Chain A
Amino acid sequence: MSIALSLYILSTLGYLVFLLFKREVWQRAGFFLLCAGFVSHGILLGKNWVEAGHLPLFDLAGNLSFCAFIFAGVFIALRHRYHVKILGIFVASVTAGLSLTSWLLPSVPATPDPAYVSLWVVVHVAASFGGNAAFTLAFAVGLLYLLLERRIKEKRKDILFRRLPSLELLDATGHACVIVGFSLMTLGMATGILYARAVWGSFWSWDPKEVWSLVVWLVYAALLHGRLSSEWRGRKAARMAVLGFLLVLFTFLGVNFLFMGHHGDFTRIGH
């Protein structure tokens, strides 16, 4: 874990230097380090899976670490097509932050409920986290859009203005992130529902996590619909992506700590 963590931290530093001095080399270095961190993280997860027979998803530490892994992965996959360089600083620092938190948290020796040891669960978790990761990117891009838009409107040229790409690229990236996020989330919910039927015999049990996920799903469905019906473009879409993310954050963490439910077991800290 410490190897991947150090690489993530170094990547963050690389991107930070890029932000300050605008040398392309640093941006590339940052991205390369992030990829290296991602690969070593993946190897570590694979090793755990083989040794323990399941992924370490049964406490908060394991979940945050897996979350960081998926987040980096989604960014790496999307960067190829939508190259918003400055986004790297956000992704690298969030990934490093999640990994660091996970590294500092006490790990619970996991003896998981046998009901949860299944490939279905892995797909469910990976898709859900991937959806959240894409929504997080959409949030970041939306925020950048709003920042740049405001600078253009107010005719203010500062370091952010100079470093940000065009509004058009930010808008297209945000849209792509929402599409990816929505697809993955749909997949995550579908696998969850089907697996619930297989394990507990019912598709839907009005668990708080389920309810809030449905709310999130509906919000992003509305956002996509608004976009397709060609009303919500640019500023409005960016604002929606930012607001939607607050719901995502609440659903991801808030629900587990505030409400009871069958997802609570996954965010245990210590004993």
Chain B
Amino acid sequence: MARLPGILLLGMNHKTAALEVREKLSLNAEEVDILLLALKQTGVLSEVLVLSTCNRVEILLAAENTQKAREVVVRELSVRKGVSSEFFLPSFYAHEGMAAVRHLFRVSASLDSMVVGEPQILGQVKQAYQRATAVGASGPILNRMLHRAFQVAKRIRTETGIGDHAVSISYAAIELARKIFGSLEGRRAMLLGAGEMAELAVEHLLRHKISGILVANRTFDRGLALARRFGGEAIRFEDAFTSLGDVDIVISSTGAPDYVIRRQDIKPLMRKRQNRSLFFIDIAVPRDVDPAINTLDNAYVYDIDDLQGVVDDNLEERRQEAGRAEGIVEEAVLRFTEWVEGLALVPTIKALREKVGGILEEELRRTLGSGGLGQGESPEALERMVDAMVTKVLHDPIRLLKSGGMHGNRDRYLGWMRLLFALDTPASEPPVPLRRPVEDGEEKQKGRWCGGL
């Protein structure tokens, strides 16, 4: 009976490693499979999982000898990626046992992400887990651990506001629009000038079922192309003013050196549009929209700095929510550790009983000789006697192990018990044959393994 393997997590992330280290070491789906198989083949680790995203490379493993496992991982990684271990080791961290569990839970729940609360990481962890199970590198401990990690992540997402509130400029603008207009359904927007961020904002708007988009660009053809893409309508830049009365949201990003929309132009317009709210999103630098428009009733102006301010506030809010999330993680880590300890308990008790029972039977056979059963004694009665003796002899030690009175020192007691009874004679189990990796499903992940925000 092999001793319970230790859990080890080795890796680096955006906090510990510079981009040049991360890009050298990051693995695509194929490389992950090869590494998993190679590590498994060494026979040093019993279970392993490799997580590689643009912000982190982490190897989670279960092994009897974690020190040896660590050396193997570092060696394999440096061979596979063709870099010396001195290059990446300084940025590596190693978490063992409870710390490894905690780290995995925090990563899955997006508490360790560059943008706290970003939702992609959970999917990436799930993919990493699928790869590990596909090549047969996962086992009972990692299975349990990963499923717990998914549960914890889900719970944190629903019970804390960690994923609430926009953390990108374009989405923050849309959130503000919803704060003003409620539903965006049936609203109309105008795009003044075109830029990447403006297009991003329009995509968000469309997702919120905005009903019409007008595009006014200095070069009409470009505006026309954009309008086609979004199913909108292109107008000439000079006509933009006459249409301002019909839209609710204006996204401005022209390259004009001075204000394009001024307060004195909007003031009469507000009366014409019956004082319905008008929201200006000015993402141009230098600004397009006169900030004084913000002082008009029912007109709102947000420039790029304001939106950045909103994003910063939201990030701060997420950080506060992350504090609550840490509590949930801690609770789950404790529960998982208890499970692992229990896992160690069962085989130890079984091994103890087998050892003592074996000795008794052996001695019984020697004393009675072969076929030396006394008169009227059935072999079943003797078996029952052996059983009863084993139970009685081991009653107190087992009760001690099972009791919760060891204040987290159960591991140590178990260790002593195994030492005293010499339960850990070198295992002679043959290595489990590896399954062939599953070939499909790789292509679709190749291009998108590193999701942006």
Q: Which residues of A contact B (CB under 8 A)?
A: 22, 148, 152-153, 155, 157, 161-162, 165-169, 230-236
Contacts and interface: CB of A to CB of B under 8 A. Distances in A.
B309 interface: yes
B298 A155 contact: no
B275 A157 contact: no
B424 interface: no
A199 to B, nearest CB: 46
Given A155-B309, A234-B298, A166 B179 contact: yes
Contact of A152 (B183, B275, B300, B314): B300
Nearest to A172: B182
Contact of B275 (A148, A168, A232): A232
B275 A231 contact: yes
B277 interface: yes
B180 interface: yes
B435 interface: no
Contacts of B183: 168
27 contacts: A152-B176, A152-B179, A152-B300, A153-B300, A155-B310, A157-B310, A157-B313, A166-B178, A166-B179, A166-B181, A166-B182, A167-B179, A167-B180, A167-B181, A167-B182, A167-B277, A168-B180, A230-B274, A231-B275, A233-B274, A233-B275, A233-B276, A233-B298, A234-B275, A234-B276, A234-B297, A234-B298
B66 interface: no
A167 B176 CA distance: 11
B306 interface: yes
Contact of A166 (B180, B275, B300): B180
Contacts of A169: 182
Given A233-B275, A233-B276, 17 more contacts: A152-B176, A152-B180, A153-B294, A153-B300, A155-B302, A155-B310, A157-B310, A157-B313, A167-B179, A168-B180, A168-B181, A233-B298, A234-B275, A234-B297, A234-B298, A235-B297, A236-B297
Interface string B140-164: 0000000000000000000001000
A235 B180 contact: no
Nearest to A148: B179
A236 B277 contact: no
A235 B299 CA distance: 10
Interface in B283-324: 294-295, 297-298, 300, 302, 306, 309-310, 313-314, 317
A27 B313 CA distance: 26
Nearest to A166: B182
Interface string B169-183: 000000010111111
Contacts of A22: 161
Contacts of A155: 302, 306, 309-310
Contacts of A232: 275
A167 B248 CA distance: 14
A172 B377 CA distance: 94
B182 A168 contact: yes
Interface in B306-353: 306, 309-310, 313-314, 317
B411 to A, nearest CB: 38
A152 B172 CA distance: 13
Contacts of B300: 152-153
A234 B317 CA distance: 29
Nearest to B273: A230
Contacts of B274: 230-231, 233
A152 B302 CA distance: 9
A165 B182 contact: yes
A158 to B, nearest CB: 9
Contacts of A233: 274-276, 298
Contacts of A153: 294-295, 300
- List 7 A-B pairs, minimum CB-CB distance, nearest first: A166-B182, A230-B274, A233-B275, A168-B182, A234-B298, A157-B313, A235-B297
A233 B181 CA distance: 13
Contacts of A168: 180-183, 277
B449 to A, nearest CB: 34
Nearest to A232: B275
A231 B274 CA distance: 6
B291 to A, nearest CB: 11
A139 B182 CA distance: 20
A236 B179 CA distance: 19
B271 to A, nearest CB: 8
Contacts of A234: 275-277, 297-298
A87 B121 CA distance: 38
Contact of A235 (B176, B298, B310): B298
A230 B314 CA distance: 36
A148 B277 CA distance: 14
A20 to B, nearest CB: 13
Contacts of B178: 166
Given A168-B180, A168-B181, A236 B309 contact: no
